[in-house]
C-alpha cells in the first residue's frame, strides 16, 4: 500500500497527476479564477512532504497560496498539509474528497435517526455514487439567484408578521427577514465588560430525535456538502437559552451545542425556503413546519436549537488622497464563497461568523471575543483561529502574544478602534440569533500601514470597498438583491450608527427605521 506524507500528496496522486502537472493546473486555475496565489515546483515539493528541505517545520503558508490550494481542492490548508487519516472500509466507500468534518456527522445522525451504526455513512456513500454534480451545482446557483426581498417576503407571510427590520429613505424601502424589537435596535453599545453580560450555563437538554423525513433530509445535506466541497466541521456552537438586550447592555445566557445538530436541523430551512420560492408554490415547508412552525417557536429560544452569529460592518479611516478625494472611511463588503455552509454566493458584511467558543467556553461567550477572533481570521490572515481547520492546538489562540500585526497595533492604543453592538434580532429564515456590530478603526495611520495586508479567507470569493462619502453608491448597494438578510441587517444598523458618529468623513444618506 502506498504511504502518503500529507493529504495534499494523496490528493494529487488520486488525481493521477505528477507534481509538475499539478503546478501547471494551479497556474491555469489561478488565472481563470483570478486567484493571486502562485505555486512553484520546489514549493509544492516542500508542501507535499510537510517539511522544508532541511527537515524543519513548514511554518505558516502564505495566505494567497493557502487560498489557491483550498479553492482547488475544497479543504482547509491545515488538513491538506496534515498526515492522511486512516479510514475504515465503510468510510473508504464514501470517497477521499469529503471534508473530515462531514465524516464526524455520521455517528450523530445514526443516533438521532435511530439507525444502526454505519447506516449514515452507507447512505451518504450511496448518495454520492448517484449524485449528479452538475445538477447539484445548478441547484446551488438557482438558490443563490433568489432575491433577498423574495426570501424576506416569504418568511413574513409564513409567520404572519410585519415586525422585521427595515429602512426607508428617498426612493428606498427595504425590509429584511430579521425579527426585532425597538429595544433591540440602534444600540451603539461598546463591547466591553460594562455592557456584555452574556453568560454560560449548562443545560441537560434532551437528545435530538429525527423522524424519517427529517433524517433523510439530513443525509441528503451531507451528500450535497460532500459533493460540492462545502466545509463542514462538527465544532461547538453557542445556543441561546435566554436573551435580554437593550440600551442597558447585552444580557442573557447561552449553552454549548454542536454544529452538526444545527447544520442537520435548523440550517436546512434556508435551502427549503429557497426551493419553495423557486417552485412558486409558496407552501412546501415540511421541515419548517417541524422545526420552526410559528412565532411562538421563534421566540422560544430555550426550547429549540438557536445558534447565532456575529456580523460586523468594518469602517477604516483613510487619509485624504489626490485620486480618491477627502478623508473618509473604507467600508468592506464581501461576496460569500460557495464553500460556506449558509448564505453561499450572497453579499455580506465582513467579518461574519458563528458565535462559538475556541478553547475557553465561559470567556468566549462574550460577543466581543467572537468579533476579535473573526477579524483576525477573516481580514488579518490568522489561519490558526479558523475553527473549520480542526481542533485548536494552542491553549489560548487569542492571547496577545499570538495577535497579528494589525491587531497588535490596534490594541496598543485604546482609542484606535471602536467596537459596538448596533442591534440584535432573530432571523426568521433559520431561527438564528444575529448580533449586528460595528468596528470603526479611527486612526487613519492604520490604512497606510496595513490596508494592503487585509485579505479575506476562504469564506469570501471577493471583497469590494465603498467610501463612506459616496452616498450614491451606498444607496445602490443597500438595494441590491444579492444580500443575505442578516448581512443587510448588520450593514444598515452599522450605516445608521456611523452616520451619527463619523463626522466629516461620512456623507451617507439618512435611512429611517421601519418595520417596528
How many angstroms separate the Cα of 320 from the Cα of each of 52, 228, 258, 287, 333? 44, 44, 47, 53, 21
> Picking from 102-111, 174-183, 220-229, which range would have the lowest pLDDT averaged per residue?
102-111
Q: What per-residue confidence (pLDDT) applies to 402? A: 93
pTM: 0.82
**Could you give phi then psi for residue 312, rounded to 5 degrees?**
-140, 135
> Picking from 178-187, 259-268, 285-294, 384-393, which range would have the lowest pLDDT averaged per residue?
384-393
Reported in sequence order, the residue ranges of 299-358 that DSSP labels E, i.e. its strands, are 308-318, 328-336, 347-349, 352-354
Using 50, 70 and 90 to split pLDDT, how confident is the model at 487?
Answer: very high
Give me the half-sphere count of Cα atoms (radius 13 Å) on the Cβ side of residue 121: 21
The conformation of residue 89, written as its DSSP 8-state character, comes to H
Strands 347-349 and 512-514: unpaired
Three cell numbers written together for 488: 443587510
pLDDT digits (tens, 9 = 90+) for 358-416: 999 999 999 999 999 999 999 998 888 876 655 567 889 999 999 999 999 999 998 99
Using 50, 70 and 90 to split pLDDT, how confident is the model at 34?
Answer: confident
pLDDT digits (tens, 9 = 90+) for 455-481: 998 899 899 999 999 999 999 999 999
Reported in sequence order, the residue ranges of 259-385 that DSSP labels E, i.e. its strands, are 308-318, 328-336, 347-349, 352-354
Is the per-residue pLDDT at 96 higher than 70?
Answer: no
Give the alpha-carbon dihedral of 362, 364, 369, 374, to 10 degrees: -170
Sheet with 196-200, strands from edge to edge, namely 196-200, 249-258, 236-246
d(Cα 176, Cα 484) in Å, to the nearest integer?
9
Strands 249-258 and 196-200: parallel
| C-beta pairs of 251-255 under 8 Å, 24+ apart in sequence | 251/197, 251/198, 252/197, 252/198, 252/199, 253/198, 253/199, 253/200, 253/201, 254/198, 254/199, 254/200, 254/201, 254/355, 254/365, 255/200, 255/201, 255/202, 255/203, 255/205
H or E stretch covering 94:
helix 89-94
Three cell numbers written together for 435: 448580533
d(Cα 453, Cα 197) in Å, to the nearest integer?
34
Q: What per-residue confidence (pLDDT) applies to 101? A: 59
Burial class from Cβ neighbours inside 10 Å (0-12, 13-18, 19+) for residue 214 reads buried
Is the per-residue pLDDT at 188 higher than 50?
Answer: yes
Spatial CA neighbour of 489 closest among 438, 452, 414: 438
Q: What is the mean pLDDT of residues 139-161?
A: 92
What 3-state class would DSSP assign to 187? strand
The conformation of residue 357, written as its DSSP 8-state character, comes to -
Is the per-residue pLDDT at 93 higher than 50?
Answer: no
Mean pLDDT taken over the chain: 89
pLDDT digits (tens, 9 = 90+) for 317-355: 999 999 999 999 999 999 998 888 888 889 999 999 999
109 or 35, which is more confident: 109
Strands 433-441 and 308-318: parallel
103 or 194, which is more confident: 194
Three cell numbers written together for 448: 497606510
Q: What per-residue confidence (pLDDT) applies to 226? A: 83
Over pLDDT 70: what percentage of the chain? 92
Q: What per-residue confidence (pLDDT) applies to 38? A: 86
Over pLDDT 90: what percentage of the chain? 59
Is the per-residue pLDDT at 119 higher than 60?
Answer: yes
Amino acid at each position: 500500500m502506498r504511504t502518503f506524507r500529507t493529504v495534499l500528496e494523496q490528493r494529487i496522486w488520486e488525481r493521477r497527476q505528477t507534481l509538475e502537472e499539478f503546478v501547471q493546473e494551479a497556474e491555469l486555475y489561478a488565472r481563470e479564477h483570478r486567484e493571486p496565489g502562485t505555486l512553484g515546483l520546489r514549493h509544492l515539493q516542500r508542501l507535499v512532504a510537510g517539511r522544508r528541505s532541511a527537515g524543519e517545520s513548514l511554518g505558516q503558508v502564505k495566505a494567497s497560496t493557502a487560498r489557491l490550494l483550498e479553492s482547488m481542492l475544497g479543504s482547509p490548508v491545515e488538513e491538506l498539509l496534515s498526515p492522511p487519516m486512516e479510514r475504515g472500509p465503510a468510510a473508504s466507500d464514501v470517497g477521499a474528497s469529503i471534508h473530515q468534518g462531514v465524516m464526524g456527522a455520521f455517528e450523530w445522525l445514526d443516533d438521532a435517526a435511530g439507525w444502526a451504526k454505519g447506516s449514515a455513512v452507507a447512505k451518504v456513500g450511496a448518495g454520492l455514487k448517484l449524485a449528479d454534480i452538475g445538477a447539484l451545482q445548478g441547484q446551488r446557483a438557482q438558490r443563490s439567484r433568489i432575491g433577498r426581498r423574495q426570501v424576506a417576503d416569504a418568511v413574513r407571510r409564513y409567520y404572519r408578521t410585519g415586525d422585521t427590520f427595515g429602512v426607508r429613505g428617498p426612493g428606498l424601502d427595504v425590509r429584511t427577514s430579521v425579527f426585532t424589537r425597538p429595544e433591540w435596535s440602534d444600540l451603539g453599545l461598546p463591547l466591553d465588560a460594562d455592557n456584555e453580560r452574556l453568560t454560560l450555563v449548562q443545560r441537560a437538554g434532551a437528545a435530538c430525535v429525527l423522524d424519517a423525513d427529517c433524517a433523510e433530509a439530513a443525509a441528503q445535506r451531507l451528500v450535497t456538502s460532500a459533493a460540492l466541497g462545502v466545509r463542514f466541521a462538527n465544532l461547538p456552537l453557542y445556543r441561546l437559552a435566554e436573551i435580554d438586550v437593550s440600551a442597558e447592555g447585552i444580557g442573557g445566557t447561552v449553552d454549548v451545542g454542536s454544529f452538526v445538530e444545527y447544520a442537520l436541523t435548523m440550517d436546512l430551512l434556508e435551502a427549503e425556503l429557497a426551493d419553495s420560492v423557486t417552485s412558486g408554490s409558496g407552501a412546501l415547508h415540511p421541515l419548517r413546519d417541524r422545526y420552526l412552525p410559528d412565532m411562538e417557536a421563534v421566540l422560544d429560544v430555550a426550547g429549540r436549537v438557536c445558534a447565532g452569529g456575529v456580523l460586523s460592518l468594518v469602517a477604516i479611516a483613510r487619509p485624504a488622497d489626490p485620486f480618491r478625494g477627502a478623508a473618509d472611511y473604507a467600508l468592506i463588503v464581501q461576496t460569500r464563497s460557495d464553500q460556506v455552509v449558509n448564505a453561499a454566493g450572497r453579499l455580506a458584511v465582513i467579518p461574519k461568523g458563528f458565535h462559538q467558543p475556541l478553547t475557553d467556553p465561559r470567556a468566549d461567550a462574550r460577543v466581543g471575543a467572537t468579533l476579535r477572533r473573526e477579524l483576525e481570521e477573516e481580514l488579518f490572515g490568522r489561519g490558526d483561529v479558523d475553527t473549520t481547520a480542526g481542533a485548536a492546538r494552542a491553549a489560548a489562540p487569542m492571547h496577545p502574544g499570538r495577535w497579528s500585526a494589525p491587531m497588535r497595533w490596534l490594541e496598543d492604543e485604546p482609542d484606535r478602534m471602536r467596537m459596538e453592538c448596533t442591534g440584535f434580532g432573530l432571523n426568521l429564515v433559520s431561527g438564528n440569533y444575529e448580533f449586528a456590530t460595528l468596528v470603526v478603526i479611527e486612526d487613519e495611520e492604520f490604512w497606510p500601514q496595513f490596508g494592503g495586508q487585509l485579505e479575506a479567507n476562504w469564506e469570501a470569493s471577493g471583497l469590494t470597498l465603498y467610501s463612506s462619502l459616496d452616498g450614491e453608491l451606498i444607496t445602490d448597494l443597500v438595494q441590491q438583491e444579492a444580500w443575505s438578510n442578516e448581512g443587510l441587517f448588520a450593514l444598515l444598523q452599522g450605516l445608521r450608527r456611523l452616520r451619527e458618529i463619523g463626522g466629516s468623513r461620512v456623507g451617507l444618506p439618512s435611512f429611517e427605521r421601519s418595520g417596528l
